[in-house]
Amino acid sequence: MSSGKPESDTTRGPDADPAKLADEVGQAYTPSGSPGRAGGSIGPLIGGVLLVGWIVALALGIVILRWQAADMDFAIINVVTLVLGFVLACSILAGFCLLAPLPWHVRIAPPLLAVLAIAMAVAMLKIEGTNGELVPEFRFRWSPPPDRTVGDAVADATTEAVDLTTTTPEDFPQFLGPERSVWLPGPRLASDWSAMPPREIWRRPIGAGWSAFAAVNGYAVTMEQRGDDELVTCYRIDTGELCWVHARPARHETVLGGVGPRSTPTIDQGNVYALGATGILRCLEGASGELRWSVDILERYGSTPQRESQVLSWGRSNSPLVVDQLVVVPAGGPPGGPFKSLLALDKQTGTVVWEAGDSQISYSSPTLGMLAGRRQILSVNEDNITGHDPQDGRVLWRQHWPGNSTSNASSSQVHALAGDRLLISKGYGEGGALFELQAGDAGLATRELWWEKSLLKTKFAQVCVIAGHAYGLSDGILECVNLDRGTRAWKSGRYGHGQILGVGDRLLVLSERGDLVLVQATPDAHRELGRVPGALNGQTWNNLCLYGDRLLIRNAQEAACYQLPIEASN
């Protein structure tokens, strides 16, 4: 006689198969008959506890790492966080697969979905680049990069002849200003931007690259990448119209460094000197942009862009220095050498006048300074700093400065200060240092005054010196350092790996995300006086250029000109 129950339920009697029953409820069968997955053994329980403890430890490690990151390299922090986060995610998935009281096909679904999501992301997305803290930026693989969509650079046919021969007191003719000091004595910038905000004069798309503007007599030149051509371009400061273009086939691109030229042109006596990322030095006629002469530095030293990438990973970013009748640039050399630190050419003809030094180059630019009573060219090389006689390039002194142009590279300038002192800084755990140059029987030599690895960690930013204090973006945070004592006055204001320019007793800060900020240059405290959010759109590593009250700024996507408010003279 039927009981009225489904036939399948009759299998749950005393003679039912335990393994079959366990499979129906999603539990593992064990001969001991103990419920659950432990099977009556304490081993899996201990394993589960250890796995949970491991997951908790990883999570706490990430939290502590981020919490203690203030005095550490944020790029390293982010890389370590990424690795730990990946291990944490894998550990959580592994724990779910091994410990969850669910059927095996349910437990295996999350790892399979994660692998599928990663595969789809790799198939659809490409890393466009990274910011200064190695946070990647993505674009769809089928979407062309901005430098290929910005369009051709076409000069305005109605533009009158450009005059770069006439000079004015407002000129900003080279990288970091007239003296390459990252500081201008004036004008006196108004401090109340809420009452008198900067006024945008013009904004326009621009080709890729990290070059800045150099400005003379109402015109500004820069370098940019548009497709497969590397350009030198000239714009009117008051309108932003394109006056002339000089293009040549060349393209430099890396994931960490981005696309395009890195150095800033130099304007001298009506000519423009520009060094491309692949080592082509051009001298152009300032009135028209026509080529006067060019030199392929890589070819001269037996190298190619492919070979140079093994010793100089992120392209040449050195801005030409004009000294008397010479134009001076870092030289370099192929993998394994031989190396030359500096190359000096006749600025009118491009003829080589001298070569000097035996060190591989860095990403810094040569500068002119007066130390120990001698006028000299200062060069930050791959792993040292040298001083050179401008007449023949002879090395006058050498100071060790750790670095490698494929990893912990040197990008910041060396500053010649009063008292025959040298200030140098960099990121990657080296910090800032002050040396004194002394004359002795054996010639010139350096003496370390202080070297503090926790100060002035300028990865590829610059330092500005005002009234005995150095200001710089130390791992993305603005810092003020007392130069006499080698101690921090304050560190505040997270602007990322942007750039700064000192103007009188004020600092203009262009943040990595494109905000323009005015800061009081005082050792008392960090004091923001004004801000223009989104002065530029997009990642910004380019230096600033100030021509009178006109601030010229750009990044790899757009350029803009702002009129800064000036305090009325009494």
- Residue 102: the pLDDT is 85
The answer on pLDDT for 243 being more than 80 is yes
Domains of the chain: 7-135 (no CATH), 172-563 (2.130.10.10)
Tens-place pLDDT, residues 175-216: 999 999 999 999 999 999 999 999 999 999 999 999 999 999
- Residue 294: the pLDDT is 98
- Residue 67: the pLDDT is 78
Which range is most confident: 58-62, 150-154, 259-263?
259-263
What is the SS3 assignment for 26-78? CCCCCCCCCCCCCCCCCHHHHHHHHHHHHHHHHHHHHHHHHHCHHHCCHHHHH
Percentage of residues of the chain with pLDDT beyond 90: 72
Task: Give the model's confidence band at 244: pLDDT under 50 very low, under 70 low, under 90 confident, else very high.
Answer: very high
Task: Give the model's confidence band at 69: pLDDT under 50 very low, under 70 low, under 90 confident, else very high.
Answer: low
- Among the residue ranges 92-101, 143-152, 177-186, 221-230, the one predicted with the least confidence is 92-101
- Among the residue ranges 84-88, 104-108, 120-124, 402-406, the one predicted with the least confidence is 104-108
The answer on pLDDT for 322 being more than 70 is yes
The answer on pLDDT for 247 being more than 90 is yes
Average pLDDT value for residue range 150-176: 92
Task: Give the model's confidence band at 15: pLDDT under 50 very low, under 70 low, under 90 confident, else very high.
Answer: low
H-helix or E-strand spanning residue 362? none
Residue 558 structure tokens:
């757009």
| DSSP for 316-348, written as a single string | --PPPEEETTEEEEEEE-STT---EEEEEEETT
- Residue 70: the pLDDT is 59
**CA separation (Å) from 357 to 228, 281, 327, 432?**
34, 20, 16, 24
Looking at per-residue confidence, does 68 or 199 come out higher? 199
How are beta strands 183-184 and 499-503 bridged, if at all? parallel
Residue 164 structure tokens:
């770069």
The answer on pLDDT for 509 being more than 90 is yes
Amino acid residing at 70: A
User: What is the Cα–Cα distance from 26 to 29, expressed in whole angstroms?
Assistant: 9
Percentage of residues of the chain with pLDDT beyond 70: 91
- Residue 526: the pLDDT is 98
Which residues touch 438 (CB under 8 Å, ≥6 apart)? 372, 420, 444, 445, 446, 447
- Residue 104: the pLDDT is 84
The answer on pLDDT for 16 being more than 60 is no
- Residue 127: the pLDDT is 84
- Residue 311: the pLDDT is 95
